[in-house]
Amino acid sequence: MKIIEFFRDMFGTNNTVYLNEKLFTNATKLAIEKFAVNVAVNLISGCISKCEFKTYFKNKEIKQDEYYLWNIEPNKNQNSSEFIQELISKLLKNNECLVVEANGQMIIADSFYQREYALVENIFENVTRKDFTFNRTFKMSEVLYFKLNNEDMSILLANLMSGYNELLTMAIGKYKRSGGRKGIVRLDKIATGDEKQKEAIQELFEKQFKTYFESENAVLNLTKGVEYEEKNGDGNKKSTSEMVDIQSLIKEAFERVAQALKIPPALLKGDIADIEKVTDNFLTFCIDPLVDMICEEINRKRYGKDEYLKGSYIDIDTTCIRHIDIFAIAEKIDKLIASGMYSIDELRRKLRDTLIKKDWSEKHWITKNYQDINSLEGGDNNGEANVVNQTAS
């Protein structure tokens, strides 16, 4: 398309077009939806990319090739954080995401076609990544296929947001008009005479007055027969009500996006009141379902039924999402060790601290006051337990 045809298609056939007005209108319709959705998607994908993918063999945690693949380098062009963020972004925006394995690398498809069947495996064709298209088909058992909902959330959300875009455009227009300068022009018969005079009047209205109104300081030269009277008053002062209307619409749009993606609205808008409760809600209703779906797909495709039942699987640790202040939870750390819930090294791993890797740091410890309830009758004369510190590997 030629450049002149592009502008004619965009602006129509008018002789004079004000570029800033046209771009402002189009940008306004897109900005609120894209901004709200991108903030939400980036929040979710950024949180999940912080999680640790733990791998287990016969119920014992190990760090081998599969661990490195998901936590460090899934492919030659992406680290794990970039890979997971792209996976989640595609899943949330497109309602589905396809990951294929090629030469030991995990590749996220940019586009594909799925041929669906009722009783046999679905087939994926025309799988493309950037400028490369795989010259083969993939069976469902050969890929990781993630699907969010039965209905495409992005389409439903776009239809909803279009209404807010129109309302926002109207509110912005009202705001601009509320502060606009207004006046009255009087023309006598001399000014409405011949064609040359009419062209001068048209030039005055379309260009000179526009420049005059938009300038901070300006002088306007009026031709003979033209009288202009400025109308100033309370009506041309910007009130806060129009700005409140705009803010309310943006707030409402963010809340609808948050509702669609199961994010607490306060968290998406950046409110910090009751942040701990809000974060718990976010992890429970938004992050955990996504993480569970990813775990299930990885386990059933890359491990299988037999290995999974024998204790070989992958698990995503979402506790990494929270920022932990070790001084604020010092008493809780002591309780977890004293009850035998975690070893010292296990807790240090969760705190992202260096592991000690000594025999005593890998054992589980329990204090005297923890004992079997049935052994209370066998205590000493003071009723205290006779159970000594126990260790377990």
Q: 356 with 345: CB under 8 angstroms?
A: yes
Query: What is the mean predicted confidence (pLDDT) over 71-78?
Result: 96
- With 80 as the cut, is the pLDDT of residue 235 above it? no
Rounded distance, CA 60 to CA 138, Å?
A: 32
pLDDT, average across residues 211-236: 67
Minimum mean pLDDT among 107-111, 158-162, 285-289: which range?
Answer: 158-162
Q: What is the pLDDT of residue 17?
A: 42
By CB neighbour count within 10 A (0-12 exposed, 13-18 middle, 19+ buried), where does 290 fall?
buried
Q: Is the pLDDT of residue 213 over 90?
A: no
Asked whether the predicted pLDDT for residue 168 surpasses 80, the reply is no
Q: How far apart are CA 298 and CA 292, in angstroms?
A: 10
pLDDT (mean) for 251-264: 86
| Residue 329 banded pLDDT, cuts 50, 70, 90 | confident
Residue 240 burial class via C-beta count within 10 angstroms: exposed 0-12, middle 13-18, buried 19 and up: exposed
Residue 340 has pLDDT above 60, yes or no: yes
Residue 50 has pLDDT above 80, yes or no: yes
pTM of the model: 0.69
Give the 3-state DSSP-derived string for the chain, with helices as H, strands as E and coil as C. Answer: CCHHHHHHHHHCCCCCCCHHHHHHHHHHHHHHHHHHHHHHHHHHHHHHHCCEEEEEECCEEECCHHHHHHHCCCECCECHHHHHHHHHHHHHHHCEEEEEEECCEEEECCEEEEECCCCCCCEEEEEEECCEECCCCEEHHHEEEEECCCCCHHHHHHHHHHHHHHHHHHHHHHHHHHCCCEEEEEECCCCCCCHHHHHHHHHHHHHHHHHHHHCCCCCCCCCCCEEEEEECCHHHCCCHHHHHHHHHHHHHHHHHHHHHCCCCHHHHHCCCCCHHHHHHHHHHHHHHHHHHHHHHHHHHHHHHHHHHHCCCEEEEEHHHHCCCCCCCCHHHHHHHHHECCCCHHHHHHHCCCCCCCCCCCCCEEECCCCCCHHHHHHCCCCCCCCCCCEEEC
pLDDT at 192 over 70: no
